[in-house]
Amino acid sequence: MKIRGLAQASLDLLEPQIAENARDETLAVFTTLRYDRRLTELTRRIPIAMEDSYNDTFFLARLHYQRLKYSSQLFQWPELKYHQFCNALDEAVADFKESTARIRVEYNAQGVLRTVVSPVPQRDNLFSGLSDTPVETESQDPIFDAVLDTEQTPTSLFSFIKTNKRAFYDEARARHNIALGATKEVLLFNEKDEITEGSISSVAVLIDGQWVTPPAEETMNGVLRSFLINLGFVKEGPIHKSLVKPGVNVLLFNGVIGVVKGIVKAP
């Protein structure tokens, strides 16, 4: 499976910003994925996920590599090889004692890979959010609270490419007092009052019985987002912020938590 790149309209819009930032020595692109020694069991509902995972423990690692390589190529940085990426993952957990972890892999203009490893809670099923019930009976996964942000987040290069320039995400979380690890997410919207994403996750909203995620022209193309679109679990479409009312069901998904259910709450 392959991830999707930016829409051509987005590339045309962002080209000046890409050129301006390409030689910024403080800039790094990154991706964040899950390390889990129980990964085969956790992906049993969608076993095809293991085909793009690495060493039976790094969730969708091949797709995360594709994303990092694609982003670095936009800036015309040194080419990143898959074996370099995998070696960095192996080294990151070589002395890690926990069975689950969040691994952030950064890459910069000098061609340097850097990893940051931190523990994360265990999951029973990385795709539990796709079940018909809010939380499957065999799972202890929580339902997330999702709140609509109170301020607009303007479209920019950094809302399409995952980089270490994340002030606007941090500010959105601060407006709603969301701590790292909390079962709460803030949903961002752009100049057109259309939903784009969550601060640390992609989002889909249940519209007419179908899970709809913002189109590529409006959002960052997350790894798990691409995976779910390719398999037909979610489809792309515009989501006006007026549809995101208290009580509405949402899906939140990223490469660490997998897919979880959420319910919109008042800010």
Q: What is the pLDDT of residues 46-77, one digit of tens each?
A: 999 999 999 999 999 999 999 999 999 999 99
Spatial separation of the C-alpha atoms in residues 30 and 19, rounded to whole Å: 18
SS3 238: coil
Band of pLDDT at residue 25, cut at 50, 70 and 90: very high
Backbone angles phi, psi at 115, to 5 degrees: -120, 145
Q: What is the pLDDT of residues 142-192, one digit of tens each?
A: 899 999 999 999 999 999 999 999 999 999 999 999 998 899 999 999 999
Average pLDDT over residues 26-48: 97
Q: What is the pLDDT of residues 82-99, one digit of tens each?
A: 999 999 999 999 999 999
pLDDT at 177: 97
Asked whether residue 137 carries a pLDDT value surpassing 50, the answer given is no
CB-based contact 203:172 (threshold 8 Å): no
Band of pLDDT at residue 139, cut at 50, 70 and 90: low
pLDDT at 136: 43
Domains detected in the chain: 8-118 (3.30.470.10), 128-265 (3.20.10.10)
Alpha carbon 21 to its chain's center: 22
User: For residue 219, which amino acid is it?
Assistant: T
Q: What is the pLDDT of residues 220-255, one digit of tens each?
A: 889 999 999 999 999 999 999 999 999 999 999 999
Asked whether residue 261 carries a pLDDT value surpassing 80, the answer given is yes
SS3 145: strand
Enter the pTM of the model: 0.94
Give just the sign of the alpha carbon dihedral 97, 98, 99, 100. negative
Q: Please compute, for residue 173, the number of CA atoms within 13 A of its CA located in the half-sphere on the CB side.
A: 18
Band of pLDDT at residue 4, cut at 50, 70 and 90: confident
Q: Specify the higher pLDDT residue, 138 or 149.
A: 149
Asked whether residue 138 carries a pLDDT value surpassing 80, the answer given is no
User: For residue 9, which amino acid is it?
Assistant: A
CB-based contact 10:160 (threshold 8 Å): yes
Which tokens hold the place of 106?
């950064």
Spatial separation of the C-alpha atoms in residues 200 and 66, rounded to whole Å: 19
Which tokens hold the place of 60?
């969708």
Spatial separation of the C-alpha atoms in residues 49 and 61, rounded to whole Å: 10
Residues 6+ apart with CB under 8 A from 123: 36, 42, 100, 139, 141, 257, 258
Backbone angles phi, psi at 68, to 5 degrees: -65, -40
Which tokens hold the place of 128?
């539990």
